[in-house]
Structure 1
Amino acid sequence: MPVSLQDQLVVAISSRALFDFEEENRLFETGDPQAYVDLQMQRIDVPAPPGVAFSLVKKLLAFNEPDHQRVEVVVLSRNDPVSGLRVFRSVSAAGMRVERGVFTQGRDPFRYLKPLGAHLFLSANEADVRQALAMGFPAARVAIGSARAGENHPHEVRIAFDGDAVLFSDEAEQVFQKRGLKAFQAHEKRKANLPLPDGPFKPLLAALHRLQQAGSQTMRLRTALVTARSAPANERAIQTLMSWDVGVDEAMFLGGLAKGEFLREFEPDFFFDDQTGHIEHAAQHVPAGHVAGGVTNSRVVSETPGRRQRSK
């Protein structure tokens, strides 16, 4: 009988999201891929430094036990197979167990998300992230310059999510973009008891909830909703989570306050948001990833001068 990943949390991740390959990548971007391969071969036994999502992956893998595999991490990379050798050796040197990888030598890797049944795709390539989101997979472009995760919670995975266009659909954000803040607040108050449609990261939150409920003798999971919604718009967000029968451990309704300092205190292993400005600020404090979907990331909006942004 074929092996199945059906009952596991499946994370697909690019090599640049997992490890710091920025020096090598700069060589690749000069247009000399062979020089890049040669450099990787020269360093094949030199473990790569941790990347933005390293802490998240290592902690998630710690949920696995010898007789119970709860999390599967698959390297999904535009790297060539030879460079993939260094990736796997770096994984081994870090004490992690990652057995599967797909290396496409410059071709689109996202098409392999479907057979993997991935619950999350992390990559440094924005085009790949957009394609994955369009296919219905939770995906984020890692902010390469992000601060690395802290070490204060070695036995707890901490993940923080924005609300609209991330956990929830961008329905309310569309109202704000078209009609402004007062219309947004009135819209959300009127629909307070009507759950928001699913956002792109609802499947990941649901999978994390199942992992949390399954329990572990050594690891815990803590989630947070970090949004600029404030009363009364907070009610619809909570009602939506209740309708999903999925909770978060912390909820921050910040009413437009900058999120970075609050995230610094929460100390997540990763934070997801759909607005680049918020990611840039958050990345000064914590590992962060941009969810390139929703109305704020549409071409029409991005090309409109002076467009409004509401921190969600």
Structure 2
Amino acid sequence: MATTLDDKLVVAISSRALFNFEEENSIFEGGDPQAYMRTQLERLDEPARPGIAFSLIKKLLAFNDTTTQRVEVVILSRNDPVSGMRVFRSGEANAIHLLRGVFTQGSPPFRYLRPLRAHLFLSANAEDVREALAAGFPAARVLTESVLAASQHPHEVRIAFDGDAVLFSDEAEQVFQAEGLDAFQAHETRHASRPLPDGPFKPFLSALHRLQQAGTPAMRLRTALVTARSAPAHERAIRTLMHWGIRVDEAMFLGGLPKGEFLREFEPDFFFDDQTRHVSHAAEHGVPAGHVAAGVANAKP
């Protein structure tokens, strides 16, 4: 029987999103890729420290057991194959079970998301993330300046999502940007019973829902919707999730309040938002975060 990833949650992740390669990357950014390769080779037996998405990945992999492989993590990196050896060794040293990797030595890696059938792509490279989103894949730029996730929930992976332009389309956000808050509220009240179109992260949320339904004694999943919406615009968001047949465990309708303090209390392993100010505010409050460069808020001038 041919090997397939069809029945798994597939996460593609760059080496810098999974491990802390910031010192090495500074050499590469300095314009000397050969020195970068030499450094990685010299440090081959020195495991890299965990990166910003490490907690998320390790906990997702805990849904696997000796009988069932529910999650697959694939390294998808602009690194060269030599540096890839250190990535795999770092995974082994940090008890991260990595089997597959694609190393493109500087070429855009996002084109390999399709044969991988990836449900999520995490990268520190903003352009790769934009290209992945444009190709229809859930993707986020990991803020490497974030801090690592808290360790209070070792048997529960926690993921928080913004709503508009992340889980949902930016249809309503376009109204807000063009006409203001009152027009947005009126628009959402009129259309409360009509589900919002899918956003870029709907496929990832659906895959998480299937993972949650499958369940495992070793690991639980807890999700949260953290949105600037408030009543009465909250209703359309809830009805959309009901229409999808997907539930989230917590929902925060903050009416424009800063999200960071609420996220700090939820303690997610990762938070996804389309607006850089929310992502940065989350990072300031100790929450690993990623920027989803989708929707009108991220339209290039």
Unaligned runs of 5+ in 2: none
2:20 matched residue in structure 1: 20
- The letter for the 2-side match of 1:251 is A
2:140 matched residue in structure 1: 140
Can you list the C-alpha shifts for 1:260-297, whole angstroms capped at 9, x where unaligned? 00000000000000001111110112000000010000
The answer on 1:291 being equivalent to 2:287 is no
> Which whole-Å CA distance do the structure 2 matches of 1:140 and 1:81 have between them?
24
2:105 matched residue in structure 1: 105
1:156 matched residue in structure 2: 156
2:190 matched residue in structure 1: 190
How far does residue 155 in structure 1 lie from its aligned partner after superposition?
A: 0.4
After TM superposition, list the pairs within 5 Å mapping 1:1-312 onto structure 2.
1-284=1-284, 285-300=286-301
Can you list the C-alpha shifts for 1:191-220, whole angstroms capped at 9, x where unaligned? 011000000000000000000000101100
1:305 matched residue in structure 2: none
CA root-mean-square deviation: 0.5
> Which whole-Å CA distance do the structure 2 matches of 1:249 and 1:170 have between them?
23
How far does residue 147 in structure 1 lie from its aligned partner after superposition?
A: 1.6
- The letter for the 2-side match of 1:235 is E
How far does residue 50 in structure 1 lie from its aligned partner after superposition?
A: 0.6
> Which whole-Å CA distance do the structure 1 matches of 2:94 and 2:249 have between them?
30
> Which whole-Å CA distance do the structure 1 matches of 2:200 and 2:98 have between them?
26
How far does residue 67 in structure 1 lie from its aligned partner after superposition?
A: 1.1
Q: Secondary structure at the match of 1:72?
A: strand
- The letter for the 1-side match of 2:29 is E
> Which whole-Å CA distance do the structure 2 matches of 1:217 and 1:229 have between them?
35
Can you list the C-alpha shifts for 1:217-267, whole angstroms capped at 9, x where unaligned? 110000000001000000000000000000100000001110000000000
Hey, which bits of structure 1, 4+ residues long, moved more than 6 A?
A: none
- The letter for the 1-side match of 2:293 is A
1:309 matched residue in structure 2: none
Can you list the C-alpha shifts for 1:55-92, whole angstroms capped at 9, x where unaligned? 00000001001110000000000000000000000000
TM-score if structure 2 supplies the norm length?
0.99
1:303 matched residue in structure 2: none
- The letter for the 2-side match of 1:78 is R
Can you list the C-alpha shifts for 1:32-58, whole angstroms capped at 9, x where unaligned? 101000000111010101100000000
How far does residue 96 in structure 1 lie from its aligned partner after superposition?
A: 1.4
TM-score if structure 1 supplies the norm length?
0.96
- The letter for the 2-side match of 1:298 is A
> Which whole-Å CA distance do the structure 2 matches of 1:218 and 1:205 have between them?
20
> Which whole-Å CA distance do the structure 2 matches of 1:70 and 1:243 have between them?
25
> Which whole-Å CA distance do the structure 2 matches of 1:221 and 1:253 have between them?
21
**Equivalent residue pairs, number:** 300
> Which whole-Å CA distance do the structure 1 matches of 2:83 and 2:2 have between them?
28
How far does residue 29 in structure 1 lie from its aligned partner after superposition?
A: 0.7
> Which whole-Å CA distance do the structure 2 matches of 1:81 and 1:188 have between them?
50
Can you list the C-alpha shifts for 1:151-174, whole angstroms capped at 9, x where unaligned? 000000000000000000000000
